[in-house]
Amino acid sequence: MHPLALLGCLVALSHCALASKAKRCPPPPPLQNGKMDFEEFQYQSTVTFSCDPGYNLVGSRTSQCMADGKWTGTVPQCQPVTCAPPSLPEFGVLSFRRLNPGNVSHFLDTIQFECVPPLALIGNETATCTANGTWSSIPVCKVVTCPTPIGIENGFIEFAVRRTYHYNESVSFGCQPGFVMEGSKHSRCENTGNWSTKPACRAPCKIPVKKAVVLYNGEKKRVQNDLKDGILHGETVSFFCKNKEKSCAYTVDVACVDGNFTLPACFKERGFFSTLVKKDPSEMKACEDEA
């Protein structure tokens, strides 16, 4: 029995009779986005409602179990906090749109800001409706310029004009013949006033042997004739190496990395005499597996 009811028993016997006849209340339905605090569901027990952060309680904060087994009042609701449209000091250049459906912003809804070109947005492009009904942040629009862009090593700026550039304008780069571009061809004037990362021009490689037969794009080539200009950055050639014990040959791939090219240790450049009397490894039978 509820302690209060027991106390009632001692004070007035009629109350005691009512208490013993009283029904229990059913558990209240769960509260969406909130919680209930209670100990018992007996006559005169109370339940206290509260809402999660970002939600406001609409209705009564407490309810009591009545003698007829019903709770007093109606179950309250937790309604999300709303944020009023942001007040834009820079109205005209700064605008926003809701990213959630509807024309009202609730707790955790987001909006996206935009500046009228060529102004740059400084701050956070998106804002969230916070628990206290304010927007998490509001950006500003500013004039941003980037300095005359500087060229890149072994490359050039296409159609370069020596001037400062506005936010979001871009320039394009090219590489000297034989050089391979790595990265985006374009660089953009960013809202920091810096240029976005420029591409790099990677150097070709000379193949550091006088004479050799190698595989290039799957075909046998003579370095001294077909590859005397070298290969491009990122390309690969395969050298033939000899396994003396098994008198067979295997290949080792070497890639050109920005002008760097390292011959495989197993590769032996052949002298004049050896070319006369011995088979080139490129003509020997292939080893079954790597030596």
Ligand X SMILES: *[C@@H]1O[C@H](CO)[C@@H](O)[C@H](O)[C@H]1NC(C)=O
**Interface residues with ligand X (CB under 6 A)?**
103, 110, 117, 124, 126-128, 130, 132, 134, 136, 168, 192-194, 203, 258-260
Query: Whats the size of the chain, residue-wise?
Result: 291
Shortest distance, position 80 Cβ to ligand X, whole Å: 15
In angstroms, the CA 217 to CA 259 distance is 19
Contact 42, 27 (CB under 8 A): no
Distance of closest approach, residue 54 Cβ to ligand X, in angstroms: 10
Structure-token pair, residue 234? 């990122």
Taking the least distance from each CB to ligand X, the nearer of 135 and 250 is 135
Residue 99 C-beta: closest distance to ligand X, Å: 10
Which is closer to ligand X, CB of 230 or CB of 281?
230
CA–CA gap between residue 64 and residue 1 (Å, rounded) = 16
d(CA 8, CA 98) in angstroms, rounded, equals 58
Measuring CA to CA, which residue among 79, 84, 83 is closest to residue 52?
79
Those residues whose C-beta lies under 8 Å from the C-beta of residue 234, and which sit 6 or more positions away, are 180, 202, 255, 256, 257
Q: Which is nearer to ligand X, 78 or 81 (CB)?
A: 81
Q: Which residues contact 63 (CB under 8 A, 6 or more apart)?
A: 28, 46, 47, 49, 71, 72, 73, 75
Min separation Cβ 111 and ligand X, Å: 9
CB nearer to ligand X: pick between 32 and 132? 132
Q: Which is nearer to ligand X, 116 or 286 (CB)?
A: 116
Residue 44 or 170 with smaller CB distance to ligand X: 170
> Using an 8 Å Cβ cutoff, are 168 and 143 in contact?
no
Q: How far is 194 from 178, CA to CA, in rounded Å?
A: 29
Please say which residue, 59 or 86, places its beta carbon nearer to ligand X. Answer: 86
Kindly tell me the burial class for residue 150, based on how many C-beta atoms sit within 10 Å of its own C-beta (0-12, 13-18, 19 or more). exposed
Q: How far is the CB of 240 from ligand X (least distance, A)?
A: 25
Please give the Cα distance from 238 to 133 (Å, whole number).
67
Q: How far is the CB of 260 from ligand X (least distance, A)?
A: 4
Compute the least distance from the CB of residue 270 to ligand X, in Å.
27
